[in-house]
Structure 1
Amino acid sequence: MAKRVAIIGAGVSGLTTIKCCLDEGLEPTCFEKSDDIGGLWRFTEKVEQGRASIYRTVITNSSKEMSCFSDFPMPEHFPNFLHNTRFLEYLRLYAKHFNLLKYVQFKTTVNSVRKCQDFSTVGQWEIVRESDGTQKSSIFDAVMVCSGHQIEAYMPLESFPGIEKFKGQYFHSRDYKTPEEFQGKTVVIIGMGNSASDIAVELCQSAKRVCLSTRGGSWVMSRVYDNGYPWDTVFHTRFANLIRYFLPWPLLKWMTEQKMNQWFDHENYGLVPKNRFLMKEPVFNDDLPSRILCGAVVVKPVVKEFTETSAIFEDVTMEECVDVVVFATGYTVSFPFLNESVIKVENNRAALYKHVFPLHLEKSTLAIIGLIQPLGPIMPTSELQARWATRVFKVPKSIDELYGDKIKTRDFIDYLDELSDGSGAKPEIIPLLLKDPQLALTIFFGPCSPFQFRLKGPGKWAGARNAILTQRDHSLVASLLKIFGLFALLAAFFLSFYQH
């Protein structure tokens, strides 16, 4: 009898998890709180309680070749970066192609996930959920939580003295939908992530004045990278990853800063990260520098205090007659249906082995899928997490076997390789070089696309080789030129060091 697996959420992670369960011969049941699939990527005019929310103009920060699932390429006519409606269309095509919707129970809220009494022996869970006012309880052999982390808004109001006296409107960026209602208003946006930047750029076209208040700054990147290629098809290659791995840390920091300032000097725009060498996730916005240069968006330090009508910043400057404050301050990680003894969140982080399995459980029968925030697309990451977790469910391992490996500091590609190794799908470049040199060289020098993880192992896809060889990547010649470019950078660095 197939093991029964409960899946919570029918967004990106939930849909691929359903398919991974089916691939391993498991019996999935997906509980979705809303009336449709898509999760974060399904725009609604109004904010829905307990569900991720986006504004109308959201587009992907990763290109379509890097953001698709590994055995289902995106349609050729889709653009490189997708509007949320297009990405939702892709998810619908994926769900239809693999017949996933029949496993989803819509308008069903999971109230609790509890260990069964004999959990230490069998590892089963009791799921209590509610639909149409009726509660039901069922036993499952495993649980996969795919609800994401962009649901519970984080608003640190205690860090902003005087906000309680402010007479204008203030809200979290989660509640922002369209710019029309801000016509002619003065807006202060607190934060320096992708949402803050997007909203600032959008509002400055209709608002009277827009201030972007940042505590620590951020590197700002364009989606358009070297020679006009999508940024991630250039940045996320095994060749580039190998170079970054072997470079001395001081040199890598210097090269990164040079590259980040190649488009525009962040210091001149007031955007230099407070700790510029943390390599945290950059902001992707193709319009922000020009808006700042034109004065449509004004960069300010963190707000020190609010008055009834004004914002006073740490540099003692003041923005008067403020109408609206938008807190683009992120989200709080939470699992309201799980007891803290199962998974505990501290400092907005959950202790998870390889970002998937909660630590200290007697049985490895609960997995968190898609909670990680990689410097890269979440779609192939969630898919590989689900492929690995379902293999663990199908072929049970002792807790010591599962947690025996050392947890590594993760680069995006390293993490994908580690997950795919666990599911038997990691590509092996050297053996492949002898067998299929064209494919091996494309895998090494070209974009590390999801198709690489369907060449071998369980779930092998016959179309993977062709998908890799026909994807729009840079030529081998272009990659070799990067080697000469690297030597030029090294020479420039040592020359600069010598002169100082």
Structure 2
Amino acid sequence: MAKNVAIIGAGVSGLISLKCCLDEGLQPTCFERTGDIGGLWRFKDKVEEGRASIYESVITNTCKEMSCFSDFPMPDDFPNFLPNSKLLEYFRIFAQKFDLLKYIQFQTTVLNVKKHNDFSSTGKWDVITERNGKEKSTTFDAVMVCSGHHIVSHMPLTSFPGIERFKGQYFHSRQYKNPSGFEKKRILVIGSGNSASDIAVELCKKAEQVFMSSRHGSWVMSRISDNGYPWDMVFHTRFNTMLRNTLPPMIVKWMMETQMNRWFNHENYGLVPENKYLMKEPVLNDDLPSRILYGAIKVKPNVKELSETSAIFEDGSVEDIDMIVFATGYQISFPFLDESIVKVEHNQVKLYKYIFPPDLEKPTLAFIGLIQPLGSIFPTSELQARWVTRVFKSLCTLPSESTMKASIETRREKRVELFGKSQSQSLQTNHIDYLDELATEIGAKPDIISLFMKDPKLALKIYFGPCHPYQYRLNGPGKWKGARNAILTEKQRLLKPLKTRIVKDSSMASITSLLKVLGLIAIVWAIFFHIY
């Protein structure tokens, strides 16, 4: 008899968990408190209690080829970076293709998830839900928590002396929807992450002046990288990952700083991170430097104190302020789980590989998407779900409790070393390394050496090209016959939405490449001649 699995949430992680359960022959039931799919990516013009909230202009920070599900490429005419409405359209196409909606109970809130009375022997859970005012308890063999971590706002008001006497309006970025109503205002945005940067850039088009207060600074990147390609298709390659993992740390950090400063010198713009050698998640914003350049946004240090109408900063400067937007992140919360099952401490949850609580008698509770990779969350959640469903079926096994706890501590120490102790970095992980780690568990990691012998063209593409999600469908459980073709044709899908005007082919690119090669030969020859 197939096992019954409860899935909490019908956002990105919930949808892919549904599909993975079906792929493994499990019987899933997804509980979604709202009336539609999409989770975080479904824009609503009003904030809804208990669900993530985005502003109207949100665009993905990772491109479509790196963000699609591994056996379902996005339509080739979709833009490379998607507005939230376009991404939601992809989710709808995906849900329809795999007939997922019939497994979702909408307008149903999960009130409590507790161990069944025979949990120690069966690993079963009682899930108490509420719909239309009526409560219901259902027993499941396993539970996948896909509720996300962008719901409960983090507003550290005690860190801002004088906030109680500030006469202007202040609110968390979760409440922000669009720039309407902010005309001619002097606005202070607290934070320098992606949301803070997006909101500051958008508001400065209508506000009198926008200030951005940054405690630690941030690296800022454009979505557009070498030769106009999306940044993550250039950055996330196996070859680059190999270099970062094998070269001495100081060389890697120097390379990262050099790369981050290629677009503009962060020190000159007041944005350079306090500890620039940490692998802090970069901000993706194509407009921020130009807005700073012509004064629409002014970067300020941390706020020391607030008066009735102004902000006093740590450098002694004072600015009149009408409104404050706190883009200060979120707190992890699972109101339907007792602390005896999962405890949140310092905005962290101790989970094996960010997924499994290590001290349960049975591995039948898993968290999907509770992670912040230096890349797209979509393929990450998918590989998590693929592994979890095989653990539920006992096709994959977990190590002992002591081994898992040791692994959690080792991972924590490494994370602090790479990313720092900041609360905003508590879920950070390297992208390809983590994907490969999960793929190894299920037997889906590409065998590059074997591929070089059998299919050198594909092997070169996999190693030196972008690390697409399709790579994890080439072999092993869940193998997809279209994976090879999807990898080799990614450039066609990338260029399709760009080439909307027909132009004659130019031979300049090949000439430029030839000149570069000749120049390199000339330099090597000059050095050789000089030595001898």
Q: Report the TM range for the smaller structure's normalisation.
A: over 0.9
Partner of 2:373: 374
Partner of 2:491: 472
Partner of 1:90: 90
Aligned residue type for 2:8: I
Give how far 1:289 is off. Answer: 0.2
Within 1, Cα distance between the matches of 2:377 and 2:67?
7
Partner of 1:25: 25
Partner of 1:4: 4
Contact 1:71/1:463 (<8 A) preserved: yes
Aligned pairs for 1:278-293 (under 5 A) are 278-293=278-293
Contact 2:396/2:441 (<8 A) preserved: no
Contact 1:65/1:74 (<8 A) preserved: yes
Contact 1:363/1:399 (<8 A) preserved: no
The answer for unaligned runs of 5 or more in structure 1 is: 492-500
Give how far 1:174 is off. Answer: 0.2
Give how far 1:397 is off. Answer: 6.1
- Provide the secondary structure at the position in 2 that maps to 1:367: strand
Aligned residue type for 2:128: V
Partner of 2:260: 260
- How far does the alpha carbon of each residue in 1:140-194 deviate from its partner, in whole angstroms, 9 at most, with x for none? 0000000100000000000001101111100000000010110111100000100
Contact 1:353/1:403 (<8 A) preserved: no
Within 1, Cα distance between the matches of 2:41 and 2:401?
33
Aligned residue type for 1:265: N
Contact 1:452/1:464 (<8 A) preserved: yes
Within 2, Cα distance between the matches of 1:398 and 1:193?
38
- Provide the secondary structure at the position in 1 that maps to 2:280: coil
Partner of 1:229: 229
Within 1, Cα distance between the matches of 2:433 and 2:285?
26
Partner of 1:420: 439
Give how far 1:247 is off. Answer: 1.1
Runs ≥4 in structure 1, deviation > 6 angstroms? none
Cα 1:402/1:465, change in 2 over 3 Å: farther
Give how far 1:447 is off. Answer: 0.4
Contact 1:333/1:349 (<8 A) preserved: yes
Give how far 1:230 is off. Answer: 0.3
Within 2, Cα distance between the matches of 1:403 and 1:15?
32
- How far does the alpha carbon of each residue in 1:114-138 deviate from its partner, in whole angstroms, 9 at most, with x for none? 0112111111100001000000000
Partner of 2:390: 391
Partner of 2:506: none
Partner of 2:503: none
- How far does the alpha carbon of each residue in 1:270-294 deviate from its partner, in whole angstroms, 9 at most, with x for none? 0010111111101000000000000
Indicate the larger mover: 225-234 or 406-415: 406-415
Give how far 1:399 is off. Answer: 5.3
- Provide the secondary structure at the position in 1 that maps to 2:305: strand
Partner of 2:240: 240
Within 1, Cα distance between the matches of 2:5 and 2:349?
22
Partner of 1:107: 107
Using structure 1 for the length normalisation, give the TM-score.
Answer: 0.93
Partner of 1:170: 170
Alignment of 1:65 onto 2:78: no
Cα 1:337/1:98, change in 2 over 3 Å: same
Percent pairwise identity:
65
CA RMSD of aligned residues (A): 2.0
Within 1, Cα distance between the matches of 2:197 and 2:113?
37
- Provide the secondary structure at the position in 1 that maps to 2:29: strand
The answer for unaligned runs of 5 or more in structure 2 is: 415-428, 495-509, 525-532
Contact 2:358/2:401 (<8 A) preserved: no
Within 1, Cα distance between the matches of 2:403 and 2:441?
13
Within 2, Cα distance between the matches of 1:448 and 1:317?
46
Residue 433 (structure 1) aligned to one of 423, 434, 452: 452
Indicate the larger mover: 166-175 or 423-432: 423-432
- How far does the alpha carbon of each residue in 1:422-443 deviate from its partner, in whole angstroms, 9 at most, with x for none? 1221111001111111111111
Within 1, Cα distance between the matches of 2:403 and 2:119?
22
Using structure 2 for the length normalisation, give the TM-score.
Answer: 0.88
